[in-house]
Amino acid sequence: MSLSTVEIESKGASQPRAQIPLTIKDFKGKADPDWCPGCGDFGVLTALKQALVELNLHPHKVMTISGIGCSSNLPGYVSTYGMHTLHGRALAVATGAQLANHELKIIVTGGDGDGYGIGGNHFVHSMRRNIDLTLHCDEQSDLWTYKPDRSPQPALRDETKSTPIGSVENPIFPVSLAIAAGATYVARGYTGQVKHLVDLIKGGIQHKGFALIDAFSPCVTFNLDNTHEFFQTPDKKVRRHGA
């Protein structure tokens, strides 16, 4: 018997599970996050859970997949099907999962080093193929799994352990790249504005095709330039609807 038809007791009367409203608690994972206090990843986790609640997607209908990195630990902190895979290879695994089971909502999560740097090849070709999955990528502007190494995102001359005198390479622009490569839903948010991020994630999940949600996510330990205060400066929200 599927989970959606199991009869359970609720307020003295049995109801089909599918008819009982979901709550954030239904998506609490078995492990608690070990991120640094103030990390933007807490906003991502909260927004993802809330989006799943509002879409009424039961845990057994969702699969979260990640590569390697602090933000890529998320599948262990949310109660859905999940896979913690190889560095930069989350989209390749997610493509296989989506092709094997069209009923699952596939959500890929990770950081910019994992998704845009080491996984850049899969990033481009997944968009070119318009695979029906949602990628949520946190922009921290450093590969903080390895302490402050440089991701593809920082501006020129940023000094890190791997580029002690700064980098001469141009950064990539994931939103522009996604549009050019054929992604049919492209959005950008900020992990400190959870309500807005919930709406973006919901739109990505509901979209039929490849959806990118690129989120500015402060690394409070290693990146002392792009802080919460930096991202909270006055800005203008510009929304682009998926094709």
pLDDT for res 129 = 95
Lowest-confidence segment of 3-7, 58-62, 160-164 by average pLDDT: 3-7
pLDDT for res 12 = 45
Residues 78-103 have a mean pLDDT of: 95
Task: Look up residue 108 and give its amino acid.
Answer: V
More confident residue, 159 or 217: 217
User: How do residues 157-200 score in pLDDT, each as one tens digit?
Assistant: 566 666 677 666 777 889 999 999 999 999 999 999 999 999 99
Predicted confidence band of residue 7 (pLDDT cuts 50, 70, 90): very low
Query: pLDDT exceeding 70 applies to what percent of the chain?
Result: 76
Residues 79-106 have a mean pLDDT of: 95
pLDDT for res 145 = 43
pLDDT for res 127 = 96
Pair of tokens at residue 142: 């450093």
Q: Which of 8-17, 68-77, 199-208 tops mean pLDDT?
A: 199-208
Predicted confidence band of residue 227 (pLDDT cuts 50, 70, 90): confident
pLDDT for res 15 = 52
Smallest Cα–Cα separation from 24: which of 77, 66, 68? 77
Residues 126-142 have a mean pLDDT of: 85
pLDDT for res 154 = 53
Pair of tokens at residue 146: 């390895």
Mean pLDDT for the chain overall: 82
Cβ pair 89, 67 in contact under 8 A: yes
pLDDT for res 229 = 76
User: How do residues 10-55 score in pLDDT, each as one tens digit?
Assistant: 444 445 555 678 999 999 999 999 999 999 899 999 999 999 999 9
Pair of tokens at residue 74: 């998320």
